[in-house]
A and B are shown apart, each in its own frame.
Chain A
Amino acid sequence: MSPASPAIADRRSTLLWLALLAATALTWAIGEGHASGPAIAALLLAVAMAKGTVVVLDFMALARAPLLWRIVLLGWLALVCALIGLAYWKGMP
Chain B
Amino acid sequence: MHAAKHTLSPSLPAEPRLAGDLAIWIFILAELLAFGLFFAAYAFARAHDPALFAPEQEALNRNAGAINTALLLTASYFVVRAVHAAEAGRGRQGARWLLAALGCAGGFVVIKLAEYVAAFNAGISLSSSTFHMFYLSLTFFHFMHVLLGMVILGALWLNARRGRYGPRDMNGIESGAAYWHMVDLVWLVLFPLVYVIR
Contacts and interface: CB of A to CB of B under 8 A. Distances in A.
A88 to B, nearest CB: 7
Contact of B196 (A30, A72, A81): A30
Contacts, number: 150
Contacts of B88: 6
B17 A1 contact: yes
A84 B164 CA distance: 43
B32 A65 contact: no
5 contacts: A13-B77, A24-B73, A48-B188, A65-B17, A76-B32
A17 B73 contact: yes
Interface residues of B, number: 56
Contacts of A9: 84
Nearest to B38: A80
A93 to B, nearest CB: 8
Nearest to A81: B189
Q: Interface range on chain A: under 10, 10 to 19, 20 to 34, or 35 or more?
A: 35 or more
Interface in A1-60: 1-2, 6, 9-10, 13-14, 17, 20-21, 24-25, 27-28, 30-32, 34, 36, 40-41, 44-45, 47-48, 51-52, 55-56, 58-60
B143 interface: no
Interface in B15-41: 16-19, 25, 29, 32-33, 35-36, 39-40
A93 B39 CA distance: 21
Interface of B: 14, 16-19, 25, 29, 32-33, 35-36, 39-40, 43-44, 46-50, 54, 58, 62-63, 65-66, 69-70, 73-74, 76-77, 79-81, 83-85, 87-88, 174, 177-178, 181-182, 184-185, 188-189, 191-193, 195-198
Contacts of A27: 66, 69, 191-192, 196
B91 to A, nearest CB: 13
A55 B184 CA distance: 8
B40 A83 contact: yes
